[in-house]
Amino acid sequence: MNENKNRHEFLSQSGKVITACAQLGALSPTSYAAQSTVKSGKVNNAFKITDKHYYLDNVLLESGFVFEDKVVVHTLTELKTLEINNGKIVALHEKQLNQNNALPRYDAGGKLMLPAMRDMHIHLDKTFYGGPWRAPNRPEGTTIRDMIKLEQKLLSELQPYIQERAEKLIDLIQSKGTTIVRSHCNVEPTSGLKNLETLQTVLTRHQSSLTCEIVAFPQHGLLLSKSEDLMREAMQMGAHYVGGLDPTNVDGSMEKSLDAMFLIALDYGKGVDIHLHESNSAGMAAMNYMLETVEKTPQLKGKLTISHAFVLATLNEQQVDEIAERMAAQKVAVASTVPIGTLHMPLKQLRDKGVVVMTGTDSVIDHWSPYGLGDMLEKANLYAQLYIRPNEYTLSRALAIATGDVLPLNDKGEQMWPKVLDDASFVLVDASCSAEAVARISPRIATFHRGEMVWGSVGKVG
Ligand SMILES: [Zn+2]
C-alpha cells in the first residue's frame, strides 16, 4: 500500500479518521488526532465492525513479568485471538486454532490490548473545543466568584453549540481510548436544565459507544445561585450524582451548603461529586465535615467523590495518612486532574492508603484552562512523572489511574485481564507493554466499547 496515496486520500476526506486499506502501524490514525478536532467520520465501511459475533486475531496480551533478583525487568506478552459476542469477550483462543470459519475475522495487527480508559471528570456541556481557538482570560487574582460572573454572560453564547461540541469532545476522548466517562453538567439559573437536556440527547445517541454518568453541577453556587430546586429537578431527570462547589468561598456557609447537597443526594438515593478547590482552612473544615457526615450516614458510604481536593496538597505526611484512613474506610474517592506546578497532590500516598483515586480531563479547552488533551494515558504518564521512579514495574502500575484500577497483570505478574465474559471494552495501542504505553503515551489504534469498534481501524481477514 502506498503511504503517500493514503495520506492524499486522508487529506481529501478533510480530516476524517483514516482507515482505507491502511496497513496497521504504517499510518497511525492518531497521527491525525492533533488536529483541532477529530471528525465523526469513524471507520471506513470496509473495516467497520458491525458484527455482533466475530474474531479479533493477533491481539497482544500481557502474560507475566520477567524477574531478575526479584526485580521486574520485562513484561511478557502473547498473541491471542479474541472471540467477541454480544459485547462480551466469550473466548480467548490460541491463534486461529479450531475456530468457526463462518465467523467474520478481523486483525488487530499485533497491537497491545489495554483496558478501556476512564475519564472521570470532564465537562462535556461547556467547552470551546470544536469551535475557534480562544484563550482563557483569568488575570491573577481572579476569584471563583469573578468566574461565575463571567459564566453568567458566556453560557448563553455557548449554549447553541453544546450538542455539536459535546459530540466532538466525545470523538476526541474515544480516539484516546476512553469510553467510560463521568461528566459534570451545569445546572444553575443561567443554564436552567437546558445543558442537561442537551447532554442527555447527545448521550442517548452514543449509548452503545459510551457509558457516561452525569453530575448535576451547581457551578454558580448551590445556595448562592439558589439552585436547589433545579438540582432536584435534575435528579428527577436522571442525573446520577449531586454536584457541589466550594461551600465557604462560594456559598459563604459551609455547613448549610454541604447539608443541602447531601440532603438532595439522600432524598433521591444518588451519590455526591463535589468540586472542592478551597485549599485553606475552609477547605480542611469542609473535608472534615463531609467525612463526619458520611461516617454517621451509612447510606453515603462509597457514594462521595471529592473532585480536586486541593487542600490535601497543603497537609503534611502524617495529616494525609490520617485523613486517607478515614476516606478509605468510608470509600470516599478523589477525582484529580493530576495537577503540575506548585500544588503537589499526595495522590500516591492516598492510593497507598487505599483511597480510590480517579483521574479526568476537566477542561479540554474552555474559559478555565486551554491545556486539556482528553487523554487518560497522558494522565497516567503525568502521574508516573510526578510520583514514581520509573521502571518496568512502577510504570506498568501507573496505568491504573487511567483505567479505574483494571490492569492486565496484578502486582505479582499474574494475568488478571481480560477474562472470559468481561465486557469487550478496550483500546488497541501501538506499544509492546503497559510500561511502554505509559512512558511513551503510545498511539492508539482502535477503541472498542462492549464489542463495538467506536473509533479507529483494524484489518479484515479474508
Ligand atoms: Zn470540573
Tell whether 150 and 278 lie within a shared domain. yes
Q: Hey, what amino acid is at 174?
A: Q
Cα-to-centroid distance, 148 and ligand 1 (Å): 13
Tell me the CATH number at 168: 3.20.20.140
Domains identified in the chain, total number: 2
Question: What cell was used for 248?
Answer: 465557604
Cα-to-centroid distance, 47 and ligand 1 (Å): 37
SS3 content of the chain, % helix, strand, coil (to 5): 35, 25, 40
Cα-to-centroid distance, 125 and ligand 1 (Å): 11
Within a domain: residue 206? yes
Query: 141: Cβ–Cβ under 8 A, 6 or more apart, which residues?
Result: none
Within a domain: residue 343? yes
Within a domain: residue 184? yes
Tell whether 151 and 250 lie within a shared domain. yes
Tell whether 422 and 455 lie within a shared domain. yes
Per-residue exposure over 87-97, b if at least 16 CB sit within 10 Å of its own CB, e if not:
bbbbebeeeee
Tell whether 291 and 257 lie within a shared domain. yes
Cα-to-centroid distance, 154 and ligand 1 (Å): 17
Query: 88: Cβ–Cβ under 8 A, 6 or more apart, which residues?
Result: 421, 422, 423, 424, 450, 451
Tell me the CATH number at 91: 2.30.40.10
Q: Hey, what amino acid is at 125?
A: D
Instruction: Specify the 3-state DSSP secondary structure of 399.
Output: coil
Cα-to-centroid distance, 26 and ligand 1 (Å): 38
Degrees (nearest 5) of the Cα angle 324, 326, 328? 65
Within a domain: residue 186? yes
Cα-to-centroid distance, 94 and ligand 1 (Å): 44
Query: 156: Cβ–Cβ under 8 A, 6 or more apart, which residues?
Result: 190
Tell whether 346 and 366 lie within a shared domain. yes
Instruction: Specify the 3-state DSSP secondary structure of 439.
Output: helix
Boundaries of domain holding 250 = 117-374
Cα-to-centroid distance, 25 and ligand 1 (Å): 35
Query: What's the pLDDT score for residue 47?
Result: 67
Instruction: Specify the 3-state DSSP secondary structure of 334.
Output: strand
Cα-to-centroid distance, 128 and ligand 1 (Å): 15
Cα-to-centroid distance, 42 and ligand 1 (Å): 28
Cα-to-centroid distance, 275 and ligand 1 (Å): 6
Question: What cell was used for 272?
Answer: 455526591
Tell whether 354 and 370 lie within a shared domain. yes
Cβ atoms within 10 A of the Cβ of 321, count? 15
β-pair type (271-276, 88-93):
unpaired
Pairwise CA distance, residues 329 & 349, whole Å: 15
Tell whether 305 and 249 lie within a shared domain. yes
Tell whether 312 and 445 lie within a shared domain. no
Within a domain: residue 389? no
Within a domain: residue 336? yes
Instruction: Specify the 3-state DSSP secondary structure of 72.
Output: strand
Nearest residue to 133 (alpha-carbon basis) of 270, 56, 37: 37
Cα-to-centroid distance, 184 and ligand 1 (Å): 7
Tell whether 100 and 125 lie within a shared domain. no
Within a domain: residue 395? no
Rounded to whole angstroms, what are the CA distances from 250 to 3, 88, 123, 401, 426?
55, 45, 20, 30, 40
Cα-to-centroid distance, 369 and ligand 1 (Å): 11
Question: What cell was used for 282?
Answer: 475552609
Cα-to-centroid distance, 353 and ligand 1 (Å): 25
Tell whether 300 and 449 lie within a shared domain. no
Cα-to-centroid distance, 224 and ligand 1 (Å): 18
Tell whether 203 and 309 lie within a shared domain. yes
Query: What's the pLDDT score for residue 97?
Result: 67
Cα-to-centroid distance, 384 and ligand 1 (Å): 22
Cβ atoms within 10 A of the Cβ of 318, count? 8
Task: Choose one of 374, 399, 426: the last residue of a domain.
Answer: 374
Query: What's the pLDDT score for residue 75?
Result: 98
Cα-to-centroid distance, 213 and ligand 1 (Å): 14
Cα-to-centroid distance, 372 and ligand 1 (Å): 12
Tell whether 177 and 307 lie within a shared domain. yes
Cα-to-centroid distance, 322 and ligand 1 (Å): 26
Query: What are the pLDDT tens digits along the chain (462 aa)?
Result: 333 333 333 333 333 333 333 333 333 333 333 333 333 334 333 467 889 999 999 999 999 999 999 999 999 999 999 999 999 999 999 876 667 788 999 999 999 999 999 999 999 999 999 999 999 988 899 998 899 999 999 999 999 999 999 999 999 999 999 999 999 999 999 999 999 999 999 999 999 999 999 999 999 999 999 999 999 999 999 999 999 999 999 999 999 999 999 999 999 999 999 999 999 999 999 999 999 999 999 999 999 999 999 999 999 999 999 999 999 999 999 999 999 988 899 999 999 999 999 999 999 999 999 999 999 999 999 999 999 999 999 999 999 999 999 999 999 999 999 999 999 999 999 999 999 999 999 999 999 999 999 999 999 887
Within a domain: residue 4? no
The structure's pTM equals 0.89
Task: Choose one of 357, 374, 391: the last residue of a domain.
Answer: 374
Cα-to-centroid distance, 457 and ligand 1 (Å): 32
Rg (CA), the chain: 23
Cα-to-centroid distance, 361 and ligand 1 (Å): 8
